């Protein structure tokens, strides 16, 4: 299914996603190059939200550009298979050999501002990322390694400690939403856990 059709079928979880979905769909209809960085105003990116076995931790990297811990993810760069993009970025940025996709459905959508910065010697003007996220899982025991040109650390972070590691204030609500959505999906899948047990995950 193409992203436009997926967004049509997607049910926003809040006002932010409702508004962002409309903008993302308009971008896709009006810009032929929205899947590439040739569109300097905004382009499509894809992220894996990587949880451990019980969703009590999330795998994050220390972003050199943002000087903050955050999720993995990257540009589509012409690839319209956004699940492939999310899994590729997750493996490349963390060193994981095995990364499991838990659902082919989009977990979340976000339009994310990117501040101006220098990358590989070139100045990149401020723009936005039209991001889709997919829920993934990995084994905490697997070996991790950073990708020096993009990040300088990889670690599992307890969900209740995310705020202590993330310095980008505008990303904290995004991560809170992802934690809540992951929790809901896990509860739906397991059924036996109580809401009280799961509530401890929310930071």
Residue 71 pLDDT > 60, yes or no?
yes
pLDDT of amino acid 200: 47
Identify the CATH assignment for 3-190 out of 3.40.50.1370, 3.40.50.970, 3.90.79.10, 3.30.70.20. 3.90.79.10
- The pTM for the full model equals 0.91
Q: pLDDT-based confidence at 199, cuts 50/70/90?
A: very low
The predicted-structure confidence for 179-188, as pLDDT tens digits, reads as follows: 999 988 888 8
| Residue that wins the pLDDT comparison between 28 and 187 | 28
Per-domain residue ranges for the chain?
A: 3-190
pLDDT of amino acid 198: 41
Mean local confidence (pLDDT), 58-63: 95
pLDDT of amino acid 64: 87
pLDDT of amino acid 194: 37
Look at the chain and count its residues.
Answer: 203
The predicted-structure confidence for 96-138, as pLDDT tens digits, reads as follows: 999 999 999 999 999 999 989 888 889 989 999 999 999 999 9
Q: pLDDT-based confidence at 190, cuts 50/70/90?
A: low
């Amino acid at each position: 299914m193409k992203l436009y059709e997926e967004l049509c079928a997607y049910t926003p979880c809040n006002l932010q996603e409702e508004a962002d979905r409309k903008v993302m769909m308009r971008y896709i209809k009006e810009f032929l190059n929205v899947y590439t960085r040739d569109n300097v105003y905004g382009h499509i990116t894809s992220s894996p939200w990587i949880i451990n076995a019980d969703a009590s931790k999330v795998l994050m990297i220390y972003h050199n550009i943002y000087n903050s811990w955050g999720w993995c993810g990257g540009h589509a760069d012409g690839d319209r298979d956004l699940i492939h993009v999310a899994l590729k970025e997750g493996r490349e940025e963390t060193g994981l050999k095995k990364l499991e996709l838990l659902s082919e459905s989009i977990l979340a959508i976000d339009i994310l501002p990117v501040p101006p910065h220098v990358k590989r010697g070139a100045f990149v003007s401020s723009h936005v990322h039209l991001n889709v996220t997919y829920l993934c899982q990995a084994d905490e025991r697997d070996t991790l390694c950073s990708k020096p040109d993009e990040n300088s650390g990889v670690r599992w972070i307890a969900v209740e400690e995310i705020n202590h590691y993330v310095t980008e204030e505008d990303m904290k609500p995004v991560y809170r939403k992802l934690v809540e959505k992951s929790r809901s999906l896990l509860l739906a899948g397991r059924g036996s856990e109580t809401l009280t047990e799961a509530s401890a995950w929310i930071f």
